[in-house]
Amino acid sequence: MESGKAKRQNGDNTGAIQDYDKAIQLYPDFTDAYNNRGLAKSHSGDILGAIQDYDKAIQLNPDCSEAYNNRGRANKRTGNITVAMQDYNKAIQLNPEFAIAYINRANLKADEGDNTGAIQDYDKAIQLNPDDVNAYYNRGITKYEMGDNAGACLDWSKAGELGFVQAFDLIKTYCNE
């Protein structure tokens, strides 16, 4: 299982899938193997295969918030926005401390024009994990789109301080007017 995770993190999705296949053969009820194989499939472009794996992980463990979150991301990629939102909501319901699920739901809300809802979710993600650069960066973009330039610049500055150097490009472009 750890071998598959290491391979996936190093970009060897094919090798990771093979390792998870072996784990599933040995332990067919191992929820994490399906969830992680889904991640590897998603990263290799097999979104529908990933969704099938997330479905199986959820079938085996209906309380697996990670599988709901990951399935939400996959459904968003297929354009199934309603189901993606339902998955993020379920992930958060199961684990109200799941900062990444709030960020993913916020990104979806922002994409769908619900900037106020997105800001609320980014705020919650930052409350849960004050060092998450993605929450600051994306909240900054959403604030900018809402006309809150000062708030956007502060968020991008924080993202940059936390190591997301691309945020400084936005500051140079939009904050030094």
Chain-centroid distance of CA 6 in Å reads 19
pLDDT, tens digit, for every residue of 60-73? 999 999 999 999 99
Q: Is a pLDDT exceeding 70 seen at residue 19?
A: yes
What number is the average pLDDT over the span 87-95? 98
Q: Please give the full DSSP string across 24-60, using - where no structure is assigned.
A: HHH-TT-HHHHHHHHHHHHHTT-HHHHHHHHHHHHHH
Q: What's the pLDDT score for residue 102?
A: 98
- Report the share of the chain in percent with pLDDT over 90: 92
Domains and CATH numbers, the chain: 1-96 (1.25.40.10), 97-177 (1.25.40.10)
Q: How confident is the model at residue 7 (pLDDT cuts 50, 70, 90)?
A: confident
What number is the average pLDDT over the span 22-39? 96
